[in-house]
Chains A and B, each alone.
Chain A
Amino acid sequence: MRSFSLIFKQFSRSVLLIAGFAFLGFSAYAQGDAAKGEALFKAKCTTCHKIESRLIGPALGPTVTEETDDKWLTHWVENNQALIAAKDPKALKIYNEYNQSGMTVFGELTDGDVANILAYVRTTWKTIQATPKVAAGGAQAADSGPSDLVIYALIGVIILAIIIILVLNKVIATLERLLSKNKDLVFEDEAVEAVTVDRLAGIKKLAKNKKFVFFTLLCGTVALCSWGWVTMWNTNVHQGYQPVQPIKFPHDLHAGAMKIDCQYCHSGAYKSKNASIPSLNVCMNCHKVVKTESPEIHKIYDALGYDPQTQKYDSTKARPIQWVRIHNLPDFAYFNHSQHVKVAGLKCQTCHGPVQTMKEVYQYSPLTMKWCIQCHKRTDVNTKGNAYYENMIAVHDLIKQGKPVTEAAMGGIECGKCHY
């Protein structure tokens, strides 16, 4: 079921994305220079501004749309300090509203650049304002995908329908038999009994058929055994384990949409056996300014004892966040992330799955020993450019012969390599 909903989610997302791009492209075409403006906006403005809401500076969407004096705006963007110094009333008003913290002076921007930025901001703001209306229909529903409840309800309805059909059929058949065979009500019961006896006789006949019995028993045994086999093998295999986390951290947003490198947060993966869950100060690198209003982000603030109003930390109120561990390797198995990420150059997704699409992370791989060993047997070792492998005669020979060097060939499936 998960895979189905996942595929569905991905499909609907791509549809939405294409639609979005088409729309954007359309409006960009109409404004001409908004595309150039976007790049500039992201490079210069996003540290302090957002289009739809206030950050360090004002929300640019409404502000720039309301202010139609482009010349004044250009002036402000290129050198706001000059305007303030000249005691321009509009400039002073903004300056005082934002605690007299001056905006960076962008002397390097030409008038054309500023015009591009303004165009971008205005079109984007228009799009944002328009989006809720557009998305009210199919797109938003598609984004969330069909919920599990809907799917279960559908299945339930179908099963119920089948049962009703079967019952109805049976009633009709009985009635028909009654009508066609017996006109006399006295014999009715007998007739029904006779029919039942007949049917039992059929089963009895089947039961006497040794071939049939053997075949049925064989099928039953095979089914039971294979069920047992699969269950036993999967005892304590928690593939798909998706616990509820104390903070709804969306990997799809951070790793997917924002394309933040995995190791920005999981920095241990490079140098340690633990990839490590990032400490909260890593979160604060961005979330001191990004999405400060979200209740989930406030959980970070609470844990740190951080007050977003005063921007001060109070360590006495700090209490650590207890994440629920998803990937539980048993204690007797040694696994080292740096060996796989840094030395072998594996992508995180090889074992952790498409994390960049997961809203909530689940265990993608079975993490069984079979799974480990399979990979060690099949994957070529990345020996290129690593002097470590140069002095290994055996490895050298294999490379010379053009044969693949797997981890298994280097002793990577021996017990003591992981169990000590």
Chain B
Amino acid sequence: MDSNKKYWKGLEELNKTPEFVELNKNEFAEPIPIEDVLTGGGLGGRTPRRDFLKALGFGVGAVTLAACQKVPVHKSIPYLIKPEDVVPGVPNYYTSTYEGNAILVKTREGRPIKIEGNPNDLLSKGGVSAQAQASVLDLYDVNRLKNPLKDGADLSWNGVDDFVKAELAAIKASGKAIRIISSTISSPSTLAVIADFVAQFPTTKYINYDAVSYTGIIQANQNSFGKAVLPHYNFDKADVIVSFAADFLGTWISPEEFTRQYVQNRNSKSLQSKKMSRHIQFETGMSLTGSNADVRIPIKPSEEGPALIALYNAISGTTLPGTKKLSNTNAEKAIAIVSKELTAAKGKALVVAGSNDVATQVLVNAINSLLGSYGTTIDLDNPSHQYAGNDAEFVEFVNEMNRGEVGAVFFLNANPVYDYFKTQDVVNGLKKTRLKVSFANFSDETGSLCNVIAPASYYLESWGDNNALEGYYTIQQPAINPVYDTREAEHSFLVWSDNATKDYYSYVKNNWDKNLLAKGGLSGQSGWESLLQAGLIKVADKPAGSYTFSRDLNAVAQTILDHSNALTTDGGKFEVQLYQSVALRDGKRANNPWLQELPDPVSKVTWDNYAAMSPSDMKKLGYQEGDVVKVDANGYSIGLPILAQPGQTQGTISVAVGYGRTKVGPVGINVGKNAFPFFSLRNGTFQTSAVAVLTSTGENSPLAQTQTHHSIEGRNSIIKEATFTEYLKNPAAGSGKEGGDHKDYNENNLFWQKYDHPQYNWVMAIDLNACTGCGACVVACNAENNVPVVGKDEVRRRREMHWIRIDRYYSFNDNGEGGVTKETEIAKLEDLDHVKVVYQPMLCQHCEHAPCETVCPVLATVHSSEGLNHMAYNRCVGTRYCANNCPYKVRRFNWFNYWNDSRFDNYLNNEHTQLVLNPDVTTRFRGVMEKCSMCIQRIQAGKLKAKIEKRSLKDGDIKMACQQTCSANAIVFGNSNDPDSEVSKALRSERTYYVLEELNVQPGVGYQTKIRNISELEA
């Protein structure tokens, strides 16, 4: 039975705007001017015979001359002395660490070309975030600083050292303060270096400054339990998760780790054991986490506090002073039900809040304490060291500077001139400071105001270590010599403080020898070597203690209410929620084109930030999507295009920070607007909400969205879903397999021949219930397959090149009519606040009956005996028939030579950045089609490895780039000829269905239905 629930990709499709309907009639986004040629000026116009002959003659001559090009002589330059362990053509892997995650760096002939997860990584077990995947591209960024700068002029390292040492000596003599400002450092060796520096210069203070900080949580834990730590959350141990605006799958603390934990209770394995966690999200803008929640309640930022108070009251049975009835009736109802569920799941419940407000977090601690979460879902004894920012200390530092008390300041991986809300204070303070040193890779907003920029080597060029969680240590080793004349920031500190050990490698090694190796049961040189091989050590966890909250909450409740009242808006004003986008986060990697072009999971916008607004509000105020509004709050204003965001709370807008960099490379410069100045300080912590006045500017700036580039044409067999209750009754619910098996659409087949798969039949299974839609696979695919970046303008023209995309479908809440929203009722319904979201990774389906193959006039795309749909680029002449005939719209056409065209300066158009290319995959030329090849280079390499080792190919030997990077393990790949392979088992699942299977194209990629645990609350 096909579901007739209505799904839609974007509001244009839902509302069937005339433009959308018109555009969808066309084969291509931009019409080909055939009509113009055939009518009017085309055929009617006269071309004189002589002109025609001239053009013809010139054409033939030019083509002939061009064809007469001499064959170029290729040079082959071997190593002079080959390093013993480098074999040209064979990749080497080195363990390293990226922001605390253990990773493997894949290098070819000494250049890192890809980041892969270390399967033993404690946090994400081999999953790698989009940022980590993209980080390899930054290594080759030609816009990085190539040498140290003093007052903007090039200087040698010796010159810098002499200058800084002399200055430091003078400042030490004067007794003025020295400050090291850094985003959280969780590296034990770096911390030791800084401690040594402080010992040498006792007026030094080291201050953690995180642009988006978690000070609220840390201080709340100090207040509640006397432990100033960021706890380690265990989402895998929670049966009921309630999140108040914490985007823990997207950006909150450790999203890769939380994704892995979260999915453990929702994936196939969990479902088979009839278990599925329940997740309720209260939030303002539609976040990645909110879109994955079983139930999502839109609330305003001002309602967050009162809602938490209400929840506390409901669970504890008490009434805090100042409690008021929520104006939001939906939230009121939801709180009542949620409190019952949480209480029922005592010991297996978890409440988290994204707020950085201490009072709010204290209240959350109180709730968690009532629920018995400490010692089970929250671990305070093995805390996380990923964030340790202290907002108040930084604010005090800015004041010190302005009072002229600071003699020297060092900015290590910190850029407060860009991301601190009172930029001018920092700028003024810096003017009063004698020595200002930045370790930035770019002459960035802060660095350009410093005396000295001592560019730190990139993490792939440096030694280092990390300690993301208590007892979990990872080592970072360089995979390449520094590309430019840079050196580790720690090295600079060692030199400037006249440390006995000047070389940071020796320092790290000594530090491990002395303090850390023993923790992993290792010692000496052999211990060091086995550490480098494993990449990590893990000390056994301390037992997680159970903590009870016993503080008085009256004052806390009052603070929360005050805060809420301050945010509450009267008519005409909007509450602004500031968030980190999943792709760019805090904007440190703004110069990375892979991340800029990674569509936001929910809005599918690339290369921009925007003001997300509820469609109802837009209708009320008469705004169209893309209209630029001036957002004015906290004495700062920016013009932002409006995005119609279903699910956005009415009366609010959401704006992403991390955009609007003004001093960075050409990729990130002036992309979007800087929203950090909307932050404010309240009770010693940065607040991420504000009250704004919106005024229309009359301009319109179309957003570069990828979501509405295709229409689903009213087909209902793309997404299939069921509720958990339905699943428990019949695991096949919703998949079309309810009757036992799928309908056979092949019975009347006269057309398609059958292919034999004598050896392998490569197929894929994707679990829609595991996929969170984060987009790490998209970037991993970019890196593995040399997928070009096209830029904002080309995305607007629908020419993005991604081989795998995450389709995001909206649907309405079930409204008690058997989960069906009839199309005729949509116009009346208009409840765009409550929408459901499904993510679906869409890539070439490698159909058995591939429609693209039959229409190719030159046989450039053909079927293989291993079940794959091959694409021979050198054969393709670019008719684009295949793309037109593909029901999944996964074929992408190369409109330009993106790697050699000055219009695409933001990506590969220089020899240096081209070093990141995977040499095993062809870079495609202008005018050819491309699409997912199912990482055929990996399949071939895996088979060859087995052949050389004289063994048969094992299941799991070959992993796709997208599969490998997925923290949720949503993608399984393998050989379906082997009945015991993981993928065969996954595809035998009752939940399996194939997208558009009624077309009888017999896709090679099977999806497993989305299951929603919505039974109780909906009742």
Contacts and interface: CB of A to CB of B under 8 A. Distances in A.
Given A243-B73, A323-B75, A388-B951, A417 B89 contact: no
B89 A411 contact: no
B927 to A, nearest CB: 14
Interface stretch (B306-314, B528-536, B871-879): B871-879
Given A268-B88, A392-B759, A419-B873, A328 B74 contact: yes
A273 B923 CA distance: 18
B80 A318 contact: yes
A342 B921 CA distance: 23
A278 B78 CA distance: 7
B950 A387 contact: yes
A347 interface: no
Given A271-B87, A274-B89, A388-B947, A279 B82 contact: yes
Contact of A420 (B82, B875, B922): B922
A332 B873 contact: yes
Contacts of B947: 339, 343, 386, 388
A278 B868 CA distance: 37
A332 B874 contact: yes
Nearest to A304: B80
A394 B88 CA distance: 34
A357 interface: no
A390 B950 CA distance: 10
B609 to A, nearest CB: 37
Interface stretch (B241-249, B285-293, B671-679, B932-940): B932-940
Nearest to B863: A414
A294 interface: no
If over half of B's interface residues share one DSSP class (helix, strand or loop), that class is named, otherwise mixed; here it is: loop
B870 interface: yes
A83 B100 CA distance: 69
| A contact residues, range | 35 or more
Contacts of B759: 392-395, 410-411
A338 B948 contact: yes
B944 A339 contact: yes
Contacts, number: 149
B763 to A, nearest CB: 16
Given A387-B950, A414-B862, A280 B78 contact: yes
B81 interface: yes
A331 B946 contact: no
A21 to B, nearest CB: 37
A392 B76 contact: no
Contact of A416 (B78, B933, B950, B952): B933
A417 B78 contact: no
B946 A388 contact: yes
A411 B922 contact: no
A324 B77 CA distance: 9
A388 B936 CA distance: 19
Given A276-B78, A281-B81, A303-B80, A415 B862 contact: yes
Given A325-B74, A416-B868, A279 B79 contact: yes
A324 B82 CA distance: 19
Contacts of B952: 387-388, 390-391
A390 B953 CA distance: 10
B872 to A, nearest CB: 4
A236 B937 CA distance: 26
Contacts of A172: none
A170 B868 CA distance: 73
A238 B87 contact: no
B758 A392 contact: yes
Interface in A291-349: 303-304, 318, 320-325, 328, 330-332, 334, 336, 338-339, 342-343
Contact of A331 (B82, B90, B922, B937): B922
A277 interface: yes
A272 interface: yes
A132 interface: no
Nearest to A409: B758
Contacts of B80: 279-281, 303-304, 318, 320
Given A320-B80, A388-B951, A420 B937 contact: yes
Contacts of B87: 267-268, 271-272, 276
A342 B947 CA distance: 9
Q: Which of B71, B82, B868, B875 has the most CB of A within 10 A?
A: B82
Contacts of B78: 276-280, 320-321, 323
B99 interface: no
B864 interface: yes
Contacts of B79: 279-280, 320
A314 B515 CA distance: 40
Contact of B76 (A324, A339, A385): A324
A115 to B, nearest CB: 44
Q: Which of B78, B82, B875, B923 has the most CB of A within 10 A?
A: B78
Q: Which of A271, A272, A415 has the most CB of B within 10 A?
A: A415
Contacts of A410: 758-759, 865
B470 interface: no
A14 B937 CA distance: 47
Nearest to A280: B80
Interface in B72-130: 73-82, 87-90
A280 to B, nearest CB: 5
Contacts of B920: 334, 420
Contacts of B923: 331
B76 A236 contact: no
A387 B951 contact: yes
B12 interface: no
A409 to B, nearest CB: 8
A274 B88 contact: yes
A292 to B, nearest CB: 18
Contacts of A416: 864, 868, 870-872, 933, 936
B726 interface: no
A268 B950 CA distance: 19
B632 interface: no
B617 interface: no
Contacts of A388: 943, 946-947, 950-953
B695 to A, nearest CB: 54
Contact of B90 (A272, A385, A393): A272
B952 to A, nearest CB: 4
B866 interface: yes
Contacts of A332: 873-874, 922
B75 A420 contact: no
Nearest to B868: A416
B233 to A, nearest CB: 42
Contacts of B933: 416, 420
Interface in B188-205: none
Given A323-B76, A411-B759, A414-B864, A342 B90 contact: no
A281 B84 CA distance: 11
A139 B342 CA distance: 101
Nearest to A238: B71
A324 to B, nearest CB: 6
A385 B950 contact: yes
A415 to B, nearest CB: 4
A271 B866 CA distance: 25
A325 B943 CA distance: 29
Interface string A365-391: 000000000000000000001111011
Nearest to A337: B89
A391 B943 CA distance: 13
Pairs of residues from A and B, 8 with the lowest C-beta to C-beta distance, nearest first: A394-B758, A416-B870, A272-B89, A279-B82, A274-B89, A279-B79, A325-B74, A411-B865
Given A238-B71, A321-B78, 8 more contacts: A271-B90, A274-B89, A321-B77, A323-B76, A388-B951, A394-B758, A415-B870, A419-B870
Interface of B: 71, 73-82, 87-90, 756, 758-759, 860, 862, 864-866, 868, 870-875, 920-923, 933, 936-937, 940, 943-944, 946-948, 950-953
15 contacts: A272-B87, A278-B78, A281-B81, A324-B76, A331-B923, A332-B874, A334-B937, A343-B948, A387-B952, A411-B759, A415-B872, A415-B875, A416-B872, A417-B864, A420-B936
